[in-house]
Homo-oligomer: A and B are copies of this chain.
Amino acid sequence: MTDHVCSPGCNHHSHIGENEKGEFAAGKEKVFSNISKGSIAAAANCRDIAALKANNFEEGKHYYIPAHKDTVTWGYFSYSQPPVVKINSGDFATIETLTHHSGDDYERMIKGDPGAESVFHWTKDEKNIDRRGAGPVDSPIGSGAGVGPHICTGPVYIEDAEPGDVLEVRILDVVQRPSFNPEFAGKAFGSNAAANWGFQYNDLLGGVPREIITVYELDALEQIAWAKAVYNYKWTTQTDPYGVDHATIDYPGVIVNHDTVDKNFDVLKGFRVPVRPHFGTISVAPKEQEVVSTTPPNYNGGNIDNWRIGKGATIFLPVSVAGALFQVGDPHASQGDSELCGTAIECSLTGKFQFVLHKQKDLSGTKLDGLKSPLLETKDEWVVHGFSYANYLSDLEDSNTIYQKSSVDLAMRDAFRKTREFLMTAKGLTEDEAMSLMSIGVDFGITQVVDGNWGVHAIIKKGMFPG
């Protein structure tokens, strides 16, 4: 980003979307104003933002993709999934995303919200989204077996995207989705589940496994930059509308019956958790299998669960199917590196994105040459993502065994190799230079230890590079 002198009209990263950002900010102000006045239903999902300029901005078209039953997949990616929209490189999209944990508190996170109600609707006679997960559709616990729990909006088809290309996704803005329930006007909510797939589950004091839901409150007007706990409860067996009992959190979208749980409001009193809104899952479709669980992150992105994938960040994803088939979901209000107990503050968000396609033929000699994993750029850093297996879908004989092979050690090995490659490819270093720089100036952190294909990321400060 430093070998370029800006001139009027240039296409430089920091300029693109300047008009857009202005419009978006104006839209947000209007939405906030409406929320303040109590006009929840009309304004809360931020659709006003899209209407500001008739879907057509200077730099590209602007699409609005609401979250409802026809615009999301639940728990899986698939190269055969029909896209919800086809766009061109340079276009913008504002995309609503819903947390799959909304059912932990129906009153605060679903009630009155047309998008959430559409997606979560499930009675004994009607289940708006039947398949939830990449598992068997005839599973006794529910279609898809919950093998992959994340609601992901899309796919978005990028015209002309082909295997070997790289899709650049710029996250221009992120807003929290306010509660649609007038009782909670002006607030947003998220749920944290200390779940059976968490790092702590079989290592609890006393040795008896349990799952704990903690509901957090946020300021939908974004005047308060921290979340506070409202209450917590221990998960009890929940019976879904089809009559199946769920003794643990094993199937997404089951609405918790609050008559069956014991809510404790004396939780983390006075604690303030800094808000870091981001998308846990951001992906293009993988090519290896037709239906792939959203849970393990992989070369194509997916459930990376890095809290740095928020406003102002750009992610580069290697395309492996025609149209790329971009999806985003698993929105988080805040998460720590490791996502220790299995989840973040799972909180519905709306994001504003711009998509830029880099064709394979143009990659030679650039930082994207040969990109084989999700690469993140923030204002001050490059972030390289390593996983226990760089591509578990092809590295493992049986990709379902990834959950038995989770390892931070392996993820560290992968992150090391990828960081070396980045420094040598993108920055032209020798291996010896890369080794030294990695040891004295690159920070390796633990992204997550809860998603099957565990993650280690390397943070490379841009300020180290020659100006």
A residues within 8 Å of B by Cβ?
192, 194, 198-200, 203-205, 212, 214, 216, 227, 229, 232, 267-274, 334-345, 407-409, 412-413, 416-417, 420, 429, 431-433, 435-446, 449, 456, 461, 463-467
Question: A412 and B446: CB pair below 8 A?
Answer: yes
Selected A-B contacts with CB under 8 Å, 5 pairs: A270-B465, A274-B464, A338-B443, A408-B446, A412-B446
Q: Is the CB of B431 within 8 A of A204?
A: yes
What is the CA–CA distance of A204 and B417 in the complex, to the nearest angstrom? 9
Which single member of B205, B270, B336, B440 contacts A439 (CB below 8 Å)?
Answer: B336
Q: CB distance A212 to B337 under 8 Å?
A: no
Q: Which residues of chain B are within 8 angstroms of A439 by Cβ–Cβ distance?
A: 192, 194, 198, 335-336, 338-344
Given A194-B432, A212-B435, list of 20 further CB < 8 A pairs? A192-B440, A194-B439, A199-B412, A200-B420, A205-B420, A205-B431, A216-B440, A232-B433, A268-B436, A268-B437, A273-B440, A335-B439, A337-B442, A337-B443, A337-B444, A341-B438, A344-B440, A408-B408, A408-B446, A412-B446
A443 contacts which chain B residues (CB < 8 A)?
336-338, 445
- Chain B residues with CB under 8 A of A436: 192, 194, 212, 214, 229, 232, 268, 341
The complex is assembled from copies of this chain, and their number is: 2
A444 touches B338 (CB 8 A): yes
Are A437 and B273 in contact (CB-based, < 8 A)?
Answer: yes
How close is A429's CB to chain B, nearest CB, in angstroms? 7
Name which residue of chain B comes closest to A233, CB basis: B432
- Establish whether residues A412 and B408, one from each chain, have CB atoms under 8 Å apart when the complex forms: yes
Interface centre among A216, A337, A340, A439 (most CB of B within 10 A): A439
- Do the beta carbons of A271 and B464 come within 8 Å of each other? yes
Q: Contact at B438–A271, with CB atoms within 8 Å?
A: no
A420 CA to B436 CA in the complex, in Å? 35
Residues of B within 8 A of A429 (CB): 268
CB atoms of B409 and A444 under 8 A apart: no
Residues of B within 8 A of A205 (CB): 420, 431
Structural contact, B271 and A417, CB atoms closer than 8 A: no
Query: Knowing A412-B408, A412-B446, A439-B192 touch, does A464 contact B273 (C-beta < 8 A)?
Result: yes
A268 adjacent to B433 (CB under 8 Å): yes
Check if A466 sits within 8 Å of B342, measured CB to CB.
no
Q: Are B412 and A335 in contact (CB under 8 A)?
A: no
Q: Which residue of B lies closest to A342 (CB)?
A: B439
Please state if B334 and A269 are interface contacts (CB–CB under 8 Å): no
Q: How far is the CA of A129 from the CA of B456 in the complex (A)?
A: 41
User: What residues of chain B lie closer than 8 Å to A232, measured between beta carbons?
Assistant: 432-433, 436
Once bound together, how far apart are the Cα atoms of A416 and B214, in whole Å? 19
Chain B neighbourhood of A465, CB < 8 A? 270-271
In the assembled complex, the CB of A285 is this many whole angstroms from the nearest CB of chain B, namely 29
Contact in complex: B463, A274 (CB < 8 Å): yes
Q: How far is the CA of A216 from the CA of B436 in the complex (A)?
A: 11
Chain B residue at smallest Cβ distance from A413: B203
B438 touches A340 (CB 8 A): yes
Known A436-B194, A466-B271; judge A444-B446 contact (CB<8 A): yes
Q: Which residues of B contact A267 (CB under 8 A)?
A: 432-433
How far apart sit A440 and B342, CA to CA, in the bound complex (Å)?
Answer: 10
| Cα(A79)–Cα(B404), bound, Å | 43
**Is the beta-carbon distance between A441 and B336 smaller than 8 angstroms?**
yes
User: How far is the CB of A290 from the nearest CB of chain B, in Å?
Assistant: 33
**Which among A337, A445, A446, A467 has the highest number of chain B CB atoms within 10 Å?**
A446
A445 to B465, CA, bound (A): 23
A422, chain B: closest CB distance, angstroms: 14
Q: Which residues of B contact A432 (CB under 8 A)?
A: 194, 212, 214, 232, 267
Taken together as a complex, chains A and B put the C-alpha atoms of A155 and B441 apart, in Å, by: 31
